[in-house]
């Protein structure tokens, strides 16, 4: 029989492990961050503990409903962005968070902890590896010239670090772009910051530059963002 203490312990584990996954997602500034992953894990655990209290074959049936139901939530974070599809990794993470919650709800504490650890490790280790492989393939297989871009961002000094992080994340998530230099100065005005980035692109990526600039323009305390094509090289 599932006691109140057991119920609380299982939900506490689901909350803790879901939050652990969510912290990494929040740090990456993904659509589904700390609260979403925590709630998915916690919700799955609540449903599973409910099935445990009902008894019989309810656990298996409820678990299957959780697996199928989380698919609708995952579909909501998948978006088409031009030729690219974004959100697949976020949807997969939500699916994994639900699995961790289900394990916690069933009382498999050790398995749930190991599973959550593997999920976080997959994000931390495989993401940079995948990006490096993607960049190498794009630059090796591109039949067009390597194009150089220059981006200038003028913003308030208070948001300088935030804007730099956003810029690095955008470039890091796009295998067609490679950051060559990133500098900041106040141009004689300590209240403002001028951020400049030199970027190499596989081929001409004007549309991608425009998307990046448009995204940065809407950020708070950003006064001006511009980009220009600075040159082309015949060899990569």
Provide the residue range defining the domain that includes 215: 146-233
pLDDT digits (tens, 9 = 90+) for 123-144: 888 777 776 776 665 555 454 5
Query: What pLDDT is attached to residue 85?
Result: 61
Q: Average pLDDT in the 193-207 region?
A: 88
Asked if 111 and 95 sit in the same domain, the reply is yes
Find the CATH number of the domain harbouring 154: 3.30.70.260
pLDDT bracket for residue 66 (50, 70, 90): confident
- 144 CB-side CA count, 13 A: 12
Element (H, E) at 179: strand 177-185
Query: What pLDDT is attached to residue 151?
Result: 93
For the chain, the domain total comes to 2
Query: What pLDDT is attached to residue 233?
Result: 39
Q: How many CB atoms lie within 10 A of CB 84?
A: 10
Asked if 23 and 117 sit in the same domain, the reply is yes
CA 147 – CA 204 distance, rounded (Å) = 6
8-12, 26-30, 39-43: segment of lowest average pLDDT: 26-30
pLDDT bracket for residue 197 (50, 70, 90): very high
Give CA angle at 233 (227, 234), nearest 5°: 145
Asked if 129 and 159 sit in the same domain, the reply is no
Q: In what order do the strands lie in the sheet with 146-156?
A: 177-185, 192-202, 146-156, 222-233
CA distances to 30, 58, 195 from 86, in Å: 11, 35, 27
Asked if 116 and 164 sit in the same domain, the reply is no
Asked if 34 and 114 sit in the same domain, the reply is yes
Asked if 218 and 201 sit in the same domain, the reply is yes
Query: What pLDDT is attached to residue 235?
Result: 33
Asked if 188 and 125 sit in the same domain, the reply is no
Rg of the chain, C-alpha, whole Å: 22
Domain limit, last residue, from 138, 157, 179: 138
Asked if 151 and 185 sit in the same domain, the reply is yes
């Amino acid at each position: 029989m599932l006691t109140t203490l057991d119920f609380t312990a299982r939900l506490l584990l689901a909350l803790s492990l879901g939050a652990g996954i969510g912290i990494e997602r929040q740090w990456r500034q993904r659509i589904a961050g700390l609260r979403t992953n925590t709630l998915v894990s916690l919700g799955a655990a609540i449903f599973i503990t409910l099935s445990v209290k009902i008894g019989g074959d309810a656990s298996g049936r409820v678990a299957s409903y959780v697996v199928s139901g989380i698919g609708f939530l995952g579909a909501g974070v998948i978006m088409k962005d031009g030729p690219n599809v974004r959100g697949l990794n976020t949807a997969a993470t939500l699916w994994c968070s639900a699995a961790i919650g289900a394990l916690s709800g069933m009382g498999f504490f050790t398995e749930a902890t190991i599973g959550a650890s593997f999920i976080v490790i997959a994000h931390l280790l495989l993401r940079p590896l995948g990006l490096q492989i993607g960049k190498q393939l794009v630059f090796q297989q591109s039949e067009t010239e390597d194009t150089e871009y220059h981006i200038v961002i003028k913003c308030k000094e208070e948001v300088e670090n935030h804007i730099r992080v956003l810029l690095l994340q955008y470039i890091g998530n796009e295998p067609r772009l490679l950051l060559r230099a990133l500098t900041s100065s106040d141009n004689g005005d300590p209240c403002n910051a001028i951020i400049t980035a030199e970027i190499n692109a596989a081929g001409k990526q004007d549309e991608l530059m425009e998307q990046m600039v448009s995204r940065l323009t809407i950020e708070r305390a950003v006064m001006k963002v511009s980009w220009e094509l600075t040159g082309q090289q015949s060899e990569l």
